[in-house]
Amino acid sequence: MDSSRADRSRNASPSLAPTNQTGDRIVNQLMFMPPHMQELTKNGTKLKTILIYDENRRWSALKPGRRTFSGCPVNTCTFGADPKKTDPTNADAIVFGDKFHPAKHRRKPNQVWIFFSLEPPVHSRSLTSLKGINWTATYRHDSDIVVPYNKFVSYDPNVKILPLKRNYASRKTRKVAWFVSNCKAISGRLDYARELAKHIQVDIYGKCGNMRCPINQTEKCRKMLDTDYKFYLAFENSYCKDYITEKFYETGLQHDVVPIVLGARKEDYANNAPPHSFISIEDFDSPKSLAKYLHRLDKNDGLYNNYFRWKGTGEFVKTNFWCRVCALLHDELTDRHYENIEDWWHAICVLNT
């Protein structure tokens, strides 16, 4: 376990808390019902109040009250009113997001402080002022509550592939596509794409290329991947452990195209994606050698179609972050803390490969 985290929750279920084992524990947390919950409900459970200390617009749809938790297995939680108008010492949990404002009070022993982020450390502010964090809620699998951009769940763990019902290469005339607007990502993805384009057709849409597709017509643009292109560059802006965004899940896997990945480690993608569903640049010593492999797939429909045999073996599911938070607030997992959240957060990223 990371030295920056102290764990005193000896009675908490290991299937709910991070361990050295592979896995994100999301399904276990979704199904978790605190053992004493029935008794508490019978006696009138006190609602767990959650406050959000963050200026990020992602929370704008959350309103004070219990509505967000209405469909949760454990729904005895509520969002407090504006933190600036509420006594924070009465809250059961406080969530500190990417654009958090520091707490002005010392954390009470029975209050849970949660650090939340979907952005990589290189794009987040310093966390040195965050003292007393109990839980982490990020895309990283060693977070207490893993918050992935998406999650694929197999219908049957023993069924990894199915017979194909169609030829996914049929009528596709273009090779590689990429939708991108940030041309200065520290991962160096634009340089890689431009070098790749010297050896195979790469159509770059957006500010960084010469192809255009209206930003307000996202689905129409993505539809081209189903009909015209064989490959898509699901390139992230940073090289960080487990950092896999909608570029891979939504633009890549959920369309009839083979995603080529750069960002997280190959093993991270393998732990999150259906088997044989993507191509990693880690398997090639240069963009030129990758292009050679793509040309091979382009000329062989059988090899190309092998990347789609996972389709139909599972589905992408909602991970219901707030439902999991509510359930865990009623469990002994609350007795955890991070000695140095800054060290924990910034330890798993590199500037380049």
Residue 272 CA to its chain's centroid (Å): 10
* b/e code 173-199 from CB counts within 10 Å (16+ = b): eebbbbbbeeeebbbbbbebbeebbeb
d(CA 337, CA 115): 11
Nearest to 175 by CA among 260, 266, 250, 263: 260
Going by C-alpha positions, the residue among 327, 320, 329 that lies closest to residue 91 is 329
Specify the 3-state DSSP secondary structure of 153.
strand
Q: What's the CA dihedral at 306, 312, 314, 315 to 10 degrees?
A: 110
Burial label, 301 (beta-carbon count in 10 A; 0-12, 13-18, 19+): middle
Tell me whether strands 174-179 and 202-205 are parallel, antiparallel or unpaired: parallel
The number of angstroms, rounded, from the C-alpha of 253 to the middle of its chain's C-alpha atoms is: 14
Residue pair 191/287 in contact (Cβ under 8 Å)? The answer is no
Instruction: State the DSSP string of 288-314.
Output: HHHHHHHHHHHH-HHHHHGGGTTTTSE
Please list the active-site residues: 119
Single-letter residue type at 22? T
Residue 93: beta bridge partners?
A: 50, 112
Distance CA 217, CA 213 (A): 7
Q: Of 331, 337, 338, 339, which Cα lies nearest the Cα of 11?
A: 331
**Helix 189-196 / helix 287-299 crossing angle, nearest 10 deg:** 50
